[in-house]
Structure 1
């Protein structure tokens, strides 16, 4: 199944099932998260309603899509260790062994979740604005202290994730050893659709799925990789996320950046003299992941900065 959240012509947001390029909308008042929380019966029943008696049917092309889910919690892991190796190699920094012992993550801003075609203002005060090509697993049912072998069963499906980043702000605040904060606080894209795991089963590999991932800036290919380059499995990172707490229906558990999946890797490899430049107003960023669709977003000027007394 492929589910979207779209803005109907009557002004309501609706959950819709995508069938042959058309959205079969449910009645207003039901979100995609409302279809989660059990072993799949709610979603299956909703799919039958959407197929047999839709509230409306519209073309997917040109539809006004929101993020497929508004997650109650969003954790962004770093599962592609070659991404980190690529960044650190330019500075001749060896990978700390801890990265291979635990799947590190940080909490991202759920209030900053936007849709797959929404414009994205540059983070206030940033001159090094960047995208990140990632995938998010969406939790389908609650779990706590899950074993890695059972944790994968708590994933309902996947969607594209773009962790927009202000690299200059991030680089400065990382000196404080509290992880990224304002450098990754302004926009998080999810979409265009939530694709359930059964649709991806032909592509399953040991730790992930063999899905091609591409990132373009102004139609120039900048990023290319595969989802099964992950060093940690989806079961492992969901298990780790649930350790000592709960994962809830709709939570987004994100992969981190696929190798070559951001401008910062180009900057690290080429150095400031040969680097092609950061995102600027008017740039269009398109992310494509096989079977998951594509996002397409224009970069807008940053809003004005209200400076602190220190000048920041």
Structure 2
């Protein structure tokens, strides 16, 4: 299933299912048995998924065409947002820029930082260039959405806690990030202003045939104004989402609605390019991320 959050023609924000070229309003189609909110759905997703299957909602006609609604971030109000650095090539490229190698510790634990879970944007949303930055960047990532509460989750059991996956663009102010990290904290303010996810959350069963080792054999692409910037594959990841979840849940409870980002795929941002090829994002730029089976996530810089 592909879950969305959308604004209907009356201006109301609703949780929905994507079917063909239309959207099913989950609350409306279920006669009120399924809530309006994607976060509320996730908090009892096993119960509400049974309602979807019992009422055969996927077989019903769409309530709206995609032209009649505005897609929002599929989970506009996640309960938390952790972002990892799980792709070795991205770490290697970034470290080479400062004349360093990948730290030995990176190979012993998956590392993450907490980002601002209140600034989630969706497909076609405008991203405002933050104050005091001249080096605005995108990051091509994948995020998993937690669907079940748990603590001290083992990597081999973590799949049971993943509700689904979506594309994630971790917009970054590289100059602000550099200022903070030079004193041993951050990236904080360099990532504080906007994160885009979407266009929908894809449940695990939709991509199980692409399973490959620790991850999935799915292509990842990024372009700016139609120009291809990078191509990669999810299966290049070093740490699985299971390993990330094990680390995140060590002595800490994860909750339905938590988001965990993979970090950037190798060559998946402007900062990794040679300096003479770097052109930071400017107003009127259109950034488009695409992951096979997860759709396309487009945003306009303003």
Q: 1:8 to 1:38 in 2, by over 3 A?
A: closer
1:292 to 283, 291, 294: 294
- Runs of 5+ in structure 1 lacking a partner? 301-312
Greater CA deviation, 86-95 or 136-145? 86-95
| TM-score normalized by the length of structure 2 | 0.93
In the alignment, does 2:170 pair up with 1:168?
no
Query: How many equivalent residue pairs?
Result: 294
Give the C-alpha shift of residue 40 in structure 1: 2.7
Q: Deviations over 1:102-138 (max 9, x none)?
A: 1000001011111121000011110000000001000
| Partners of 2:86 and 2:263 within 8 A in 1 | yes
Q: 1:52 to 1:221 in 2, by over 3 A?
A: closer
2:237 to 211, 230, 234: 230
Q: In 2, distance between residues paired with 1:291 and 1:133?
A: 15
- Runs of 5+ in structure 2 lacking a partner? 29-34
Give the C-alpha shift of residue 43 in structure 1: 2.1
Give the C-alpha shift of residue 289 in structure 1: 0.7
1:201 to 190, 198, 208: 208
* Counterpart position of 1:127: 134
4+ residue runs over 3 A deviation: 46-54
Matches of residues 1-12 of structure 1 in structure 2 within 5 Å? 1-12=1-12
In the alignment, does 2:42 pair up with 1:36?
yes
| Partners of 2:225 and 2:287 within 8 A in 1 | yes
Q: In 1, distance between residues paired with 2:41 and 2:17?
A: 12
Give the C-alpha shift of residue 86 in structure 1: 1.1
Give the C-alpha shift of residue 151 in structure 1: 1.3
